[in-house]
Amino acid sequence: MNRLRNLLPNTLSYLWSGWGALASLLLFCAVWELVGEYYGDLILPGPLEVIGQLKLMFNSGIAGPELIISGRRTLYGLFLALAVGSLLGMLAGFSMTTSMLARPLITLLLGMPPIAWLVLAMLWFGLGDATPVFTVFIACLPIVFAGAMQGTRTLDNHLKAVAQVYRLPWHMRLTDIYLPHLASYLFPAWITALGTSWKVVVMAELLSTSDGVGAALAVSRAQLDTSTTLAWVVAVLGVLLATEYLLLEPIKRHLERWRVGVSQ
């Protein structure tokens, strides 16, 4: 009951905090418009024209299916990376030895350019769905893995002692001690992985597939159509912003409501 009572003010305060984000986005659009007017439509069409173009693409049924195809590939790769990365990262974090062994591998994987993975994936999987999915997976994996490992390693020893003294069974240690602590490390890692996944999927599609947003971008580039190119970019960024602020951020706030000043 108490929680329900808190839900409304928390939701309203979250929505209200959206004004700040909106102001910042509109400011960006204003600068974009300004630069666009200086260079002309061929080089940089303004935000209104790009949004008009995007609307046109949605109305004519071009944008929807391509976004769905790219979204599906992103989700497959991302979910795989989140599941495998979180699990393996946690397991690695439980032991000092595995953490030490894993650290240089993470640096190695994080440093490997996604384009290199893409070339390898094209050689291994050909020009199908598997190539972008694999590239997304392998690009996001080390980010999530590092977050999960770091979270597991940094759990306060005092709380571990509490779990031991009160003889918490393993599943309670996981759900009541480790996961709530881990969430504050995993969520930022998941959000970074989400951003990376869209970047990588568009790049992978541009080079390896005949459908999806990346492939559509390749076509618009060939036609020197700047406004369509920007419309695709805006569409991808819109999906990204919506996923982060309408899905992940509210979940994060809900899970971390115990933190001091989290609703500010």
Partner 1 sequence: MSALQIRNLQHKYALTEVLSNINLDLAAGETLALVGPSGCGKSTLLHIIAGLLTPSEAVIKNDFRGTACMFQEPRLLPWKTAEDNITLGLKALHVPKQACRQQAQNIAKTLGLTADDLNKYPHELSGGMQSRIALGRALIIKPDLLLLDEPFSALDIGLKLELYRLLRQHITERGSSVLMITHDLMEAVRLADRIVMMIPEPGRLIGEFTLQQSHAERSETWIYQTTAKLMANDRIRIGFGLAEGSLNLTEHLHTQHSGCSI
Question: Residue numbers of the site for partner 1 (CB under 8 A)?
Answer: 2, 158-159, 161-162, 164-169, 172, 176-177, 180-181, 256-260
Helix (H) / strand (E) element for 80: namely helix 63-94
Measured CA to CA in angstroms, residue 170 lies from 177, 181, 205, 227, 231 at distances of: 10, 16, 43, 56, 50
Nearer to partner 1, 55 or 254 (CB): 254
Q: How far is the CB of 2 from partner 1 (least distance, A)?
A: 5
Classify 60 as helix, strand or coil: coil
Q: In 112-224, which residue ranges form alpha helices assigned H by DSSP? A: 114-125, 130-153, 157-165, 170-172, 179-208, 213-222
Q: How far is the CB of 260 from partner 1 (least distance, A)?
A: 5
Nearer to partner 1, 16 or 258 (CB): 258
Nearer to partner 1, 59 or 263 (CB): 263
CA-nearest of 151, 156, 171 to 90 is 151
Nearer to partner 1, 20 or 169 (CB): 169
Q: How far is the CB of 167 from partner 1 (least distance, A)?
A: 5
Q: How far is the CB of 173 from partner 1 (least distance, A)?
A: 9
Nearer to partner 1, 175 or 223 (CB): 175
Which residue carries 């951003």 as its tokens? Answer: 195
Q: How far is the CB of 251 from partner 1 (least distance, A)?
A: 15
CB distance 151 to 204 below 8 Å: no
